[in-house]
Structure formats: C-alpha cells, structure tokens
A and B are shown apart, each in its own frame.
Chain A
Amino acid sequence: MALMANVNRADRMPMSPTPQPAQSPRAELRDLRISFPLPDMSTLEVISGISMTVAEGEFVAVVGPSGSGKSTILRALCGLLEPSGGSVLVDGKPVSGPPPGVGFMFQKDALLPWRTVAGNIRIGAELGGVPGDRREERVASLIKLLRLDGFENAWPRQLSGGMRQRVSLGRLLAYQPSLMLMDEPFGALDYQTKIAMGKELLSVWEAERRAIIFVTHDIEEAVALADRVLVFSARPARIIADYKVMLPRPRHMRSMRGDPAFTRLTEAIWSDLALPE
C-alpha cells in the first residue's frame, strides 16, 4: 500500500472553513488578527488573518519560525489574549476568558517552586475536577507514566529541565482537558526521552481522543505525531501550508523514519520553512 502525504498548499487552495458535519469543531479560528502595541505608539502585527479548524479528537502540529506567533495563537485559543480582529471559537462558542476543558502547556514549565512534583501535578487534578478521593491515584499513575518515580516529593529546583517539562505535562494531563494546547512540550528533552514521551502522548491520545494543538520546532516530531501539520510563515503569521499526514496508526517511530512518505513530507515542510515564498 502506497502511503501518500496529501500535500495541500494553502497559497493555491485558500483555507476556507471546511464544511463540517452538524457537530462543531473543537476549536476554530476565523480570520484571526493579533497585534501588540509597541512602546513607540506603533503596533506590531503578529497574526494577520489566520483561519483554521481543529476537529474533535484531531492532533494538529504547528511548525514555524521563531517569533512567528505560534505561542500567541495558543494564548488566544485559551482566552488569555484578546484578539484584535476575527474570532476564536472553542466548541462553537466565542472565547472570552479561558473556556472550560482547554488545557495549556506553556513553553516555560511554570511550575510552582513551593510545590513538590506530586503537588504540582495535583493542581491539574484539583482544577480539572477530579474528585478528591481519586486524585492521589491519578497523580500516582501520571508520575509513573512520565517516569518520575522516586521524585514524587522532590522540589522543582531539584529537577532537570526535561524533568520539569514532564511534570508540567503531568499537570496538563491531570487536568483532563478535551483540547490540549501544547507549546513545545518536549523542547527540553533529550532524544530518547522525547521519543518515549511522544509515544506516551500518542497512547494517551489514542485512548482518550482529545484534540491537540502541538507547537514544535521539530519537523520530524510534528510529522511523526500529528494528523495534520500547519506551517506558519514568519511574522506576521499566515498558514503557508496545511499537510494531511496519511501515515497509518499506531505509529512506530523506528519503521516510520524509513518510510518514503515520511521523508517526503518532512522534506516538503523543510523547504517551506527554508524558502518562505
């Protein structure tokens, strides 16, 4: 069976809100515009008209140059940032303030230094409405999943950067969001741990089918994990390509790397990023 990466160039085929069945997409951006005021009274246009949808249970990766506005879009989706134009919808409802069921894993881990590993993960469980008597169990299972065993009672200052990131991932998973916004979640991990975490994330995702928007600088990681890869242009950000990843699931990291479809797709994204139009 020939695996085809369905290349869908946005510049030739403008992204129109794809006709959806009765059910509304998990997240939707319509002609989103975001600009920031600069000290000299001018404005910095970061997002100039982005439209995209994320379906229920869909895993969407976003790649793009540094400073292009990837984090900014996640902040808008989470209601932490007021767009200057267009609209942001989560579960069909316009976002004003953080919507329920949306979990955000920041680029920085933002752990509370006065809470232990378990304590930080427990915050997700507490705010995610995990009932009191099930919290400890949930926290313990996440600690195991994230290979943090033995560090339950360690303070964040005693952790390596990658471990901190795993705790932050644990907090997100404990929150049990139906839409996960992940901003370079594996950016500080070594190669092995990154592959292992990717695998764990996929197994959690395959079991629970929560929609994910996954920002990364790692093209291979994006292709290996996601259903779709969006390529952002440099600032002001537009979507320059929207690739559907047709690789079969469950994905096997090792064999996938030899797959011509995998290589073709990473090559295509690579050239998109290297040659911005």
Chain B
Amino acid sequence: MAFTKTTSGATPSSTPGDQPAIRRRRSQWRSSPVLGQIAVILALLLLWELASHHLYNPFWGSRPSMIAERLWELALSGHLWMHTSTTLQEAGAGLLLAAAVGVPVGIGLARAPRLARLLDPIIMGLYGLPRVALAPLFILWFGIGLISKIMMSFTMVLFIFILNVMEGIRTIDQDQLDLMKSMRAGKMYVAWTVLLPAVVPWIMASFRIGVGLALIGAVVGELIGSNRGLGWYVESSGGQLDTTGVFSGLIVLMILAMLANYLIGFIEKRMIKWR
C-alpha cells in the first residue's frame, strides 16, 4: 500500500505551489556550435585548395577559388538565380504537395486500420521501388518542364509523410483518446486537440528528411530531361568536362539543403515548444 511518493521536501510550509517560477527558455546561444562549424568548413576548403595546387590537376577536381569565381560569374549573369530558383521551385512544390497529400492520407490510414492493412502491400511496394527509375516515365508523361520534376520530388517524399504520420498516430497514448471519448468529444475536436498536435513533430521530421529527397527528385528529373536547373547545369558541365561547373552546381545544392534544414529546424522550435 505505497501511496507516499513525496514531491517536495516535507517542511510544513512548503506546498509544491510555492516552487520558484520555471525557466522557460533554454539558453540557445551560449553553447552555439556555429563558429566551430564555420571553422571546420573553412579548414576543409583550405585543404582542398592546397591539395589542388600540390597534389592533383585541378582539371579532375577543380578548386575552391575557381568555384568561387565561377559562382560569382554565374551570379552576375543571372544564370545562378535562374537555375537555383528552378530547382527550388521543383523541389519545394514537390515537397509541399507531398505534405498536403501525405498528411491527410497518413491520418486517414491510421484511423482506418482495415483499409491500411488492405493497402499495406501496395504502399510498401511503392515505397520500396527505386523511384528514381520513374524519371524517364515522368518525362514522357509530363514533358521536360516543371511538372515532371515536381512529380519526381513528390513521389520521392510522399511515402515519408504517409509512413511518419501513421507512425505518429500509432504512438498516441490510447488513454488520451479514451479520455476524450469519456468526455464525449467530437471527431473534429479530437483531431484538432489530440491527433494533429501529436503528429506535428512527425510532420516536421518528415520535412527534414524530405528536403534532401525532394532535391534528389528534382535533380534526377533535370539530369534526365530538361533545359535548366542545377541538375541540368551539373549534367551539361559534366558533358563538357567542366569539373568546376559540376562542383559549382553541387555546392549550391548543398547550400540549399543546408539552409532548408536550418529553416525547418527554426520552424520546428517555434511550433514544438512543449517538448
């Protein structure tokens, strides 16, 4: 008959309500790793630069100074923005479309386990399919414009959303749902107060994983058939044995992925304060 799990020191005057107010914000900047991260990147670039002068012919691996020069030229001519914005649009639209379709489908499947079981082999089959291989088909169906790349990004990311959201709903504490039921909460109320908040972290995680995949989708689409975009630029530079061009494209892609990740991390912190 154990019932005394004490919550505070047992002096008669201290009720738990008297405890000091809570520190709500954890310090973010004091142990910020940003400076260290930048230092590591600069050191690596320096090593690369030195290696290209002393260890190998820059024809094969280019060098940071040449890449910087190229990026500068591309920026001045407006080509940098054209390619970058094209790829961004394709990947961004694919990512958002995947979220818009994947989240409701995931919630629906999680709430209808019979249907989910029925569709399980199909979903897992499509998920397991190397969707990169769909690129030629999409080019055939949707042409070499924006749509085929959006569809590539979309198919790359869609299942991430569906599966994550399903898992998120599955991990909801049954007691929370029963409690809502015991108070006769309506479906919409439950969706709004329990289901949606519970899956927000899973949606954010899907965005995190999805950014990279959406870029892959867009770039693969561009490699196979297009006339613009970072993937196209990499591909056409490669065709001309222009390694500096290839690396310039790759580096812009890397920076995009990095920035998108930061952006999502930022939004995540704003949205999930309760963790």
Using a CB–CB cutoff of 8 Å, the interface residues on chain A facing chain B are 75, 78-80, 98, 100, 102-104, 106, 108, 110, 112-115, 123-124, 126-128, 147-151, 153-158, 160-163, 175, 186-194, 196, 216-219, 221
Which residue of B2, B16, B179 has the most chain A CB atoms within 10 A of its CB atom?
B179
B3-A186 in contact (CB<8A): yes
Known contacts A102-B182, A127-B185, A193-B16: A218-B3 contact under CB 8 Å: yes
Instruction: For B113, list chain A residues within 8 Å (CB).
Output: none
Interface of chain A, main secondary structure = loop
10 A–B contacts from the bound complex (CB under 8 Å): A78-B182, A104-B183, A112-B194, A155-B274, A163-B16, A189-B3, A190-B10, A194-B3, A216-B3, A218-B1
B6: contacting residue among A102, A126, A190, CB under 8 A: A190
**What number of residue pairs across chains A and B have CB atoms under 8 A from each other?**
114
Using a CB–CB cutoff of 8 Å, the interface residues on chain B facing chain A are 1-8, 10, 12, 15-17, 19, 21-22, 24, 173, 175-176, 178-185, 189, 193-194, 197-198, 200, 272-275
Instruction: For A114, list chain B residues within 8 Å (CB).
Output: 197-198, 200, 272, 274
A158-B184 in contact (CB<8A): no
**Sample of 12 more A-B contacts, CB < 8 Å, known A161-B5, A190-B8, A219-B1:** A98-B183, A103-B182, A108-B173, A115-B193, A127-B183, A148-B17, A157-B274, A175-B183, A188-B5, A189-B3, A191-B4, A217-B2
Instruction: For B185, list chain A residues within 8 Å (CB).
Output: 127
Task: For B23, give the chain A residue with the smallest CB separation.
Answer: A158
* Complex Cα gap A218–B1 (Å): 6
CB of A195, distance to nearest CB on chain B (Å): 11
A106-B175 in contact (CB<8A): yes
Task: For B15, give the chain A residue with the smallest CB separation.
Answer: A147
Instruction: For A187, list chain B residues within 8 Å (CB).
Output: 3, 5
Instruction: For A108, list chain B residues within 8 Å (CB).
Output: 173, 175
Instruction: For B274, list chain A residues within 8 Å (CB).
Output: 113-115, 155-157
* Complex Cα gap A149–B7 (Å): 16
Task: For A128, give the chain B residue with the smallest CB separation.
Answer: B183
* Complex Cα gap A191–B9 (Å): 11
B184-A127 in contact (CB<8A): yes
A147-B16 in contact (CB<8A): yes
